[in-house]
Amino acid sequence: MNRFYTFSKKSRIKKKAEFRVIYTSGEKFFSDYYCVFYKPSSENRLGISIPKKFGKSVYRNLQKRILREAFRKSKVSFKNPKDIVIVMRRKPMDKAKQTMDIERIFQWLSQ
């Protein structure tokens, strides 16, 4: 397996303080279903926040897996490394639209 396509522990943002730094000092943009906060960094890292109001833990964990997989596949194309936090704003009703929205997010971040 190619090392570049892995999602290691170093690629995760887990601590509340790290989330807060990215929320306050990073830039943000909105897509149809997500709010994305990002900030330049030394390596690509991802944090995901999905509030409980969107469903039970099984659904929230599924959404996290979908976002992590998209990040894992697209992080190689990023020109500059970034810390990225993705927050779900609305519950996706259509899987095809959600997939297009996620692709658009990571395409925009890779510029």
pLDDT at residue number 6: 78
> Is residue 1 domain-resident?
no
pLDDT exceeds cutoff 80 at 1: no
> Is residue 66 domain-resident?
yes
> Is residue 59 domain-resident?
yes
H helix runs in the chain, sequence order: 16-25, 57-74, 95-109
pTM of this prediction? 0.92
Q: Which domain holds residue 58?
A: 8-109
Give the DSSP letter of residue 23: H
Q: What is the mean pLDDT of the chain?
A: 93
pLDDT at residue number 33: 96
How many structural domains comprise the chain? 1
Supply the CATH number for residue 93's domain.
3.30.230.10
> Is residue 22 domain-resident?
yes
> Is residue 28 domain-resident?
yes
- 10 or 41, higher pLDDT: 41
Q: How many C-alpha atoms does 94 have within 13 Å on its Cβ side?
A: 5
**93 exposure class (CB count in 10 Å sphere: 0-12, 13-18, 19+):** exposed
> Is residue 3 domain-resident?
no
> Is residue 34 domain-resident?
yes
